[in-house]
Amino acid sequence: MDKFRTGDYIAQLSIDCVIFGYKNKELKVLISKLSYGKDLWSLPGGYILQTESIDQAASRILMERTGLDNIYLEQFRAFGGPDRIIGSGYREVVRAGLKDFDPKKFDDEAIDWVTNRFVCIGYYALVDLNKVDPKIGEFEEFLKWVSIEDLPEMTHDHNTIVGEAHKSLRQNLDEKLIGFNLLPDEFTMREVKELYEAVYDKEFPMNNFQKKILGLDVLERLGKKYTGAQNRAPYIYRFKS
């Protein structure tokens, strides 16, 4: 491998992405198992090239990990405590892991750069999980979808970043009508309700929920979903373009 070129990137500024998906009534997050260290888990992220904007960097990182280039992406918060990274209990583990991973790519100067204090700009993305073909980054062993309820302990403050992204998602779900980005192109009202219940971690009575969603006038009704008993079949909807 070529030496890590720290000069290509903006120093002490990084991006971490919380990629939300939804399946089997569960809100899921895409996380990465790092190739170095012992059982290190992380959010997909990266650094910002000197030649690109912050939003361009986030879109590039998401494209590299998901293979998708037209997904909902929201910047939700910056994380910049004075001891971020340098005060992390994982810092020395990461330093040792990078040195063992490839001493030619990561000399002492590069390791110092990577494990310096970083201000992280947090983004979350909403994807149709069935359309994602996860692709590993240079320092990742594999990527996997994990229920937000079952996340492992991740490096540095990444669990906190997920928690803040989840709060932002809840706040924006109705205001910006973004939840439909997590569903297939066509869906039933029950599937919409189950998505909301997974995001908010509580149940919603169907009658009130359906009245509320239909009152937003954002759905187009397509017909009924055949289940063998057509008179009881649910209607299929799609989001109005």
| pLDDT > 70 in the chain, percent | 97
Amino acid sitting at position 130: N
User: Helix, strand, coil % (nearest 5) of the chain?
Assistant: 35, 30, 35
Q: What is the pLDDT of residues 148-158, one digit of tens each?
A: 999 999 999 99
Token look-up 């540095």 returns 156
Can you say whether residue 139 is alpha, beta or left, with left for phi > 0 and alpha for psi between -120 and 50 degrees? alpha
Would you list the domain boundaries of the chain? 6-179, 184-239
How many residues are present in the chain?
Answer: 241
CA distance 104 to 169: 41
Full-prediction pTM beyond 0.85?
yes
Give exposure, 81-93, as e/b (b: 16+ Cβ within 10 Å). Answer: eeebbeebebbeb
Query: How high is the pLDDT of residue 138?
Result: 81
CB 50 within 8 A of CB 16: no
CATH of domain 6-179: 3.90.79.10
Q: What is the per-residue pLDDT across 79-134, written as a single tens digit (0 to 9) for each?
A: 999 999 999 999 999 999 988 887 888 899 999 999 999 999 999 999 998 889 88
> Over the stretch 3-17, which tens digit does the pLDDT of each residue have?
889 999 999 999 999
CA distance 118 to 107: 19
Query: Where in the chain does DSSP place strands (E)?
Result: 9-23, 26-34, 41-42, 45-49, 72-79, 119-126, 140-147, 187-188, 219-224, 235-239
Q: How far is CA 215 from CA 115, 208, 212, 222, in A?
A: 50, 11, 5, 17
